[in-house]
Amino acid sequence: MKNNKKASKFHRGLALAVISIATAFWGGHRSFAGDSSPVSLTSSAPGWALPDLAGKTVHSTDFQGKVVVLDFWATWCPPCREEIPGFIDLQNKYELQGLAVVGISVDQASADNVQTFAKKMGINYPVVLADAKTPTAYDIDVLPTTFIIDRTGRIVKQHLGLTPASEIESEIKPLLKL
């Protein structure tokens, strides 16, 4: 049973890696009009309670009233790594206006490994470690996958694959004005 679980995790990780690489080349953006995924424009973003890199539990409700850029990523994912500097800049530029960038690491690596990576990259926003349920609740099958969530907790946009920070910025600016 234990070997089957390891094999299953390996195959899921391998599938995510292949999809991530393909998405990096072709990009991908999905809005929710007509989408059959578990998350939609008519519902709030699924809630979560996940450990941060220090082991403290962070809740999705901690960001209530903020515009959230929620990024599912991994340290081994090249397009994920490429997006991080843009998220750092957005956090610096718009934090005082109510933006919260949050990274959800789907790494199988230890929190220490993710923390070392985050320090090396200079990540200035909260990073939490995904559990088995959270990626499923958000229907994650591509890395990176980034959600734009408005101040009411409603998902307004989803990006599959590498997305320029300028595109994210153009989508959050109107939401920050409200």
Q: What is the mean pLDDT of residues 108-120?
A: 94
Residue 80 has, within 13 A of its CA and on its CB side, a CA count of: 26
CATH classification of the domain holding 109:
3.40.30.10
26 against 92, higher pLDDT? 92
The token pair that represents 5 in the structure block: 């679980």
The token pair that represents 61 in the structure block: 């409700």
Q: What is the mean pLDDT of residues 70-85?
A: 98
The overall pTM is greater than 0.95: no
Is 118's pLDDT higher than 90? Answer: yes
Q: What is the mean pLDDT of residues 61-85?
A: 98
Place of tokens 């515009």: 67
Q: For 11-63, how does the pLDDT look when each residue is reduced to its tens digit (9 = 90+)? A: 445 444 444 443 333 344 333 333 334 455 557 999 999 999 999 999 999 99
Q: Looking at residue 154, what DSSP letter applies?
A: B
Q: For 135-178, how does the pLDDT look when each residue is reduced to its tens digit (9 = 90+)? A: 999 999 999 999 999 999 999 999 999 999 999 999 999 999 96
| ∠ Cα 149 20 72 (to 5°) | 30
Q: What is the mean pLDDT of residues 90-109?
A: 97
In contact, 134 and 46? CB cutoff 8 Å? yes
Q: Domain limits at 137?
A: 2-177
* Calpha distance 91→114 (Å, rounded): 19
Domain total in the chain: 1
Lowest mean pLDDT among 28-32, 57-61, 80-84, 120-124: 28-32
Predicted local distance difference test score (pLDDT) of residue 43:
75
